[in-house]
Structure 1
Amino acid sequence: MTDTAAPSRPARPARAPKPKGQWKIDGKLTLNHNEEFKAEDDALNVKQRILDVYSREGFASIPSDDLSGRFRWMGLYTQRKQGISGARTSKLEADELQDEYFMMRVRIDGGALTTDQLRVVAGVSTEFARNTADISDRQNVQYHWIRIEDIPEIWRRFDEVGLTTMEACGDCPRVVLGSPVAGIAADEIIDPTPAIEEIKARYIGSPEFSNLPRKYKSAFTGHPSLDVVHEINDIAFVGVVHPELGAGYDLWVGGGLSTNPQLAQRLGTFVRPEEAVEVWHGVTSVFRDYGYRAQRTRNRLKFLIKDWGVEKFRQVLEDEYLGRALNDGPAPAKATAPGDHIGVFEQKDGRYFVGATTTVGRAGGDVLAKVADLAEAAGSQRIRFTPHQGVIVLDVEEDKVEELIEGLAAVNLHARPSSFRRWTMACTGIEYCKLAFVDTKDSATELVAELEKRFAGDAPLETPLSIHLNGCPNSCARIQTADIGLKGQLLDGDTPGFQVHLGGGLAASHREEGGLGRTVRGLRVKTSDLADYVERVIRKYVESGESGETFAEWAHRVDEEVLV
């Protein structure tokens, strides 16, 4: 009997890879609805429709692609309808969750304001936003309860003093973080103010970058405290001194948190001050042309960096966009001090700046107006907001420092806060955010007060210990980079609580190097039990930590059962 071989089947042709939406490779395909509405009409054009149509005809006149899409480019999101529990966040559609009021984000590049500008910001809060005004960890101010009918008047007031909400949100270059002590710190390496101002003047509101694959976050610092959380920005310029070329910047790319956290990486390049804006333009152009647009969950710059690697990214930047090689350069030195600038510090001109912390970003128009008054009484006309939800008054005369500190404390802004008040941060949370599952601002405020009471008689911790609360997985409050990061979620279906991350940190904190926190398996804490848990884990650290060991180092070293 002869064996008969089965007939061979023809090999299937290899499937062509699905397009990722890279303009320079795939062409301008519209692979999802976000890309469709951006292609149909530049999002910047919605400003005129707000002025001419929607503000006159009311909320009901706004079509969905403008309301849920292009409005973001004007710094506007609909806020959460009051009274909807966290248990319904993932069960309702966006239009069921939203109210007919807006969160409005004021763009404040570098966190820099004059006292005149601050008074306008304060006035808008008290007149149009029910006295809401939160200082964000992006140096912005966020209002709530904004009506569409009031937006033209708000914008008119902002225009008069050189402020804007333009591209405070959206798939575009968002606010440029800047060292809040730029130009005045005695130990500054380089002042990034000229670069930030040129980027804002040339590219914010320009169609050249109004359609990026996703949000795009930039940061500049020339201060040795590394004070702009550069590791979690899409692009960051960090002041360094080149042994031959002098002061300039070390370039970082690809940072971002949310549900796929990744710290930025050095390109290994030295950027001379006169090159900074050109290099920013080049990196932004690479993202525009090669960034992934197919899936909203994978279209930040960090995903391109992960796939390409920094060597290829640098090569494409140099060959296709700059037309020359950049110099190699040194990495930044370890941070010299905490980067929040809380306290009293002498400026290079002999005057002082005073940094004060909010409580988890909460301020209000009445508070901000008082800050303007207090600053001017101290001889200052300049304010800076920080990437840590703080406020800095510049140019204070020495004999006015104590009076200013007392005045700020009277409106709950503290230049000499407890460690807990200084280092606790919270996002907007369920009070106004449509994505949130739990309350954050009030929970964090109560946590701070309770920890201050419980640790009142104890010696202060040797190193700062940060506590960050977030209402959902998106990490607006940077939970993965906190010593104690708390991610809001519902426990047992409807009980507000938090998943715990421990031991995160950035290079500007007390850690030797930046790193992401450790998730403790199965560790969930009810909101009502937060103070008990945080107290317990801190006391375990104090009791069992080795000499000189930071909380982050301890949290990564010990067994999981120690951390519960």
Structure 2
Amino acid sequence: MYRYDQYDHQIVKERVAQYADQVRRRLNGELTEDEFRPLRLQNGLYYQRHAYMLRIAVPYGLLASRQLRMFAHIAREHDRGYGHFTTRQNIQFNWIKVEETPEILRKLASVEMHAIQTSGNCVRNITSDEYAGIAPDELVDPRPYCEILRQWSTFHPEFAYLPRKFKIAINGAEEDRAAILVHDIGLSIVKNEQGEIGFRVLVGGGMGRTPILGSEIRAFLPWQHVMSYIEAILRVYNQYGRRDNIYKARIKILVKALGVEEFARQVEEEWQHIKDGPSTLTREELDRVAAYFTAPAYETLPTTDAAFDQLKTDNKAFGNWVKRNVKPHRVPGYAAVVLSLKKTGVPPGDATADQMDFVADLADKYSFGELRVTHEQNLVLSDVKITDLEAIWNAAKSQGLATPNIGLLTDIVCCPGGDFCALANAKSIPIAQDIAERFDNLDFQHDIGEIELNISGCINSCGHHHVGHIGILGVDKDGSEWYQVSIGGAQGNQSSIGKIIGPSFSAHQMPEVIDRILKVYVRERQEDERFIETARRIGVAPFKEYVYATPIKSEHKAGEDAYA
């Protein structure tokens, strides 16, 4: 993985010193809160409902074991013993004291991490596929490009004060696991007819108040021009994006206002002035960065293992875990292991300090000291021998990290919501926990199959509810917390925005609402149809009719009889 060079070390060290002085002046009363606010936000420090929250960047979701151990240390020494992994592959600590933040940033710098540009109207953390570099369907490893864009965009003076925050995602595989269609810029690595590598460029995607899927403005961009072309996009946005209305300031609004063709024309016109300038990426620079992402020392292993196959058959629990939590690897004899942070009763995406230390130990022992953070708020050991899977399973069970629910109903994506966030209209975590408890039957979940359930506590959509097969949005209704439900959202190659089924529900009604939605699915599905396939085929109407058919009064635990 990438290691800081002398410039990275110097930049981060200088930023920590600068910020430490800003905190000193704030605590001494030399800076007002209004003066301090933009300074702390530039270092990832938000003030939430109860305390300060610090968001730390995990570039393209890649972590070393030493970095995860530092997160565990921060959780113990500066927070309340846990951290929260987000849908943008970062980590947040929700109980931070402002006077301790300079020391936290110094500690992060010691393991080559920071909180720079995790807030503010700038280019945020570059995200990518959590299986980058190991996925069998990968065309090109996107991580070198992610790192190059990270370096290029960090402290870029021209794009430090954009009209609004800006998010870029890169995918290098056949299947889009980076959700590029719902980013301000989505890049997909492609090959042209001559076999040359380039990018398909999508612009104007996003969720929030106005969910929109990105539009293609270039089918093939030579890789050498990825920085200069993004620079042209950002220049057009910087010049014409709205600054008079925060709700209409994202690039998706500008693209919609101008029209895709006109926006693309302006980008191409701007690009002609800079396309062969200093931002042109050279083969030498690409190779320099790519050298940090060389493959670990894989062993030559058999493609099959009879003992492993037999164990999957003999031990149903292990077999279910392998089916849901073990993903294919491009190297024979290896696999990627997803450690679920979605055990029933635990807020989705939360990990304790002990769990983080434990996962770091697993990474050192079984995965070359590396791991990944997923968009679905889980952790991945990326390079595991198939012969080690049983040992990992047994170890992970002891820490509550082996729930075999990846991609299933209780693998819920959820923002911190009203329990922490000052922007939230409603709580998210209790809703996730109530639903998880209602359907805490793994046999039932496996029978129902793949369902993505996403919850956001407000319209900002940090829980990505718009692209959940079932999406739940917290709304304010006369000072009370209510929940809007949508169906049919999806990320990936077949991305779609969910459609609201009708009026909102109270918190206590939500488990029964999900129960009724699932009953419709079971009644209507054909053969092996997944939920999203059934929802697209029959539309929202059957779900709406059944959910609202009779008043929702009581709750009961889902059982086999209800879905027979």
Structure 1 counterpart of 2:483, which letter? F
Query: Using the alignment, how far apart are the partners of 2:192 and 2:264 within structure 1?
Result: 19
Structure exhibiting the larger radius of gyration computed from Cα positions: 1
Shift of the alpha carbon at 1:356?
A: 2.5
Query: Using the alignment, how far apart are the partners of 1:433 and 1:58 within structure 2?
Result: 24
SS in 2 for 1:173: coil
> Percent identity at matched positions?
25
Structure 2 counterpart of 1:406, which letter? N
Structure 2 counterpart of 1:190, from 140, 146, 151: 140
Aligned to 1:122: 72
Aligned to 2:33: 64
Aligned to 1:496: 481
Aligned to 2:404: 416
Structure 1 counterpart of 2:34, which letter? D
Distance 1:298 1:151, change over 3 A: same
Aligned to 1:514: 495
Aligned to 2:285: none
Aligned to 1:389: 377
SS in 2 for 1:460: helix
Contact (CA 8 Å) 1:343, 1:415: kept in 2 or not?
no
Shift of the alpha carbon at 1:379?
A: 4.4
1:466 aligns with 2:452: yes
Aligned to 2:439: 451
Distance 1:166 1:404, change over 3 A: same
Query: Using the alignment, how far apart are the partners of 1:540 and 1:399 within structure 2?
Result: 41
Query: Using the alignment, how far apart are the partners of 2:205 and 2:524 within structure 1?
Result: 33
Distance 1:423 1:322, change over 3 A: farther
Query: Using the alignment, how far apart are the partners of 2:89 and 2:270 within structure 1?
Result: 33
Query: Using the alignment, how far apart are the partners of 1:373 and 1:54 within structure 2?
Result: 35
Aligned to 2:557: none
Query: Using the alignment, how far apart are the partners of 1:125 and 1:68 within structure 2?
Result: 24
Contact (CA 8 Å) 2:340, 2:406: kept in 1 or not?
no
SS in 1 for 2:436: helix
Shift of the alpha carbon at 1:461?
A: 2.4
Structure 2 counterpart of 1:438, from 415, 420, 426: 426
Aligned to 2:223: 273
Structure 2 counterpart of 1:361, from 349, 357, 364: 349
1:475 aligns with 2:455: no
Shift of the alpha carbon at 1:442?
A: 3.2
Structure 2 counterpart of 1:442, which letter? P
Distance 1:434 1:458, change over 3 A: closer
SS in 2 for 1:269: strand
Shift of the alpha carbon at 1:196?
A: 1.1
Contact (CA 8 Å) 1:185, 1:346: kept in 2 or not?
yes
Aligned to 1:298: 248
Aligned to 2:506: 526
Shift of the alpha carbon at 1:197?
A: 0.9
Instruction: Map residues 216-231 of structure 1 onto 2, 5 A cutoff.
Output: 216-231=166-181
Contact (CA 8 Å) 1:122, 1:365: kept in 2 or not?
yes
Query: Using the alignment, how far apart are the partners of 1:122 and 1:135 within structure 2?
Result: 12
Shift of the alpha carbon at 1:278?
A: 2.7
Distance 1:459 1:384, change over 3 A: closer
Aligned to 1:74: 43
Q: Which runs of 5+ in 1 are unaligned?
A: 1-43, 82-100, 327-339
Shift of the alpha carbon at 1:324?
A: 8.4
Distance 1:506 1:552, change over 3 A: farther
Structure 1 counterpart of 2:271, from 303, 321, 325: 321
Structure 2 counterpart of 1:65, which letter? D
Aligned to 2:303: none
Query: Using the alignment, how far apart are the partners of 1:555 and 1:482 within structure 2?
Result: 17
Shift of the alpha carbon at 1:563?
A: 4.0
1:427 aligns with 2:415: yes
SS in 2 for 1:142: strand
After TM superposition, the structure 1 stretch with the greater mean CA deviation from structure 2, 179-188 or 61-70, is 61-70
After TM superposition, the structure 1 stretch with the greater mean CA deviation from structure 2, 149-158 or 135-144, is 149-158
Shift of the alpha carbon at 1:242?
A: 2.0
Q: Which runs of 5+ in 2 are unaligned?
A: 1-12, 277-322, 343-347, 549-564
SS in 2 for 1:452: coil
Structure 2 counterpart of 1:561, from 545, 548, 552: 545
Instruction: Map residues 389-408 of structure 1 onto 2, 5 A cutoff.
Output: 389-408=377-396
Shift of the alpha carbon at 1:382?
A: 0.6
1:552 aligns with 2:552: no
Distance 1:118 1:421, change over 3 A: farther
SS in 2 for 1:216: coil
Aligned to 2:472: 486
Superposition CA RMSD, Å: 2.7
After TM superposition, the structure 1 stretch with the greater mean CA deviation from structure 2, 429-438 or 405-414, is 405-414
SS in 1 for 2:501: strand
Shift of the alpha carbon at 1:265?
A: 0.9
Q: Tell me how many residue pairs correspond in the alignment.
A: 481
Structure 1 counterpart of 2:375, which letter? P
Structure 1 counterpart of 2:45, which letter? L
Query: Using the alignment, how far apart are the partners of 1:341 and 1:111 within structure 2?
Result: 21
After TM superposition, the structure 1 stretch with the greater mean CA deviation from structure 2, 230-239 or 279-288, is 279-288
Aligned to 1:10: none
Distance 1:344 1:261, change over 3 A: closer
Distance 1:483 1:61, change over 3 A: farther
Contact (CA 8 Å) 2:501, 2:540: kept in 1 or not?
no
Query: Using the alignment, how far apart are the partners of 2:400 and 2:25 within structure 1?
Result: 39
Shift of the alpha carbon at 1:59?
A: 8.5
Q: TM-score when scaled to structure 2?
A: 0.79
Query: Using the alignment, how far apart are the partners of 1:427 and 1:59 within structure 2?
Result: 34
Contact (CA 8 Å) 2:458, 2:473: kept in 1 or not?
yes
Query: Using the alignment, how far apart are the partners of 1:169 and 1:458 within structure 2?
Result: 37
Shift of the alpha carbon at 1:457?
A: 4.7
Shift of the alpha carbon at 1:128?
A: 0.5
Structure 2 counterpart of 1:285, from 231, 235, 239: 235
Structure 1 counterpart of 2:327, from 330, 334, 344: 344
Distance 1:55 1:132, change over 3 A: farther
Write out per-residue CA displacement over residues 246-271 of structure 1, whole angstroms, 9 at most, x where no aligned residue: 34321111011111111111113212
Shift of the alpha carbon at 1:342?
A: 4.3
Query: Using the alignment, how far apart are the partners of 1:248 and 1:517 within structure 2?
Result: 31
Shift of the alpha carbon at 1:190?
A: 1.1
Query: Using the alignment, how far apart are the partners of 1:252 and 1:458 within structure 2?
Result: 35
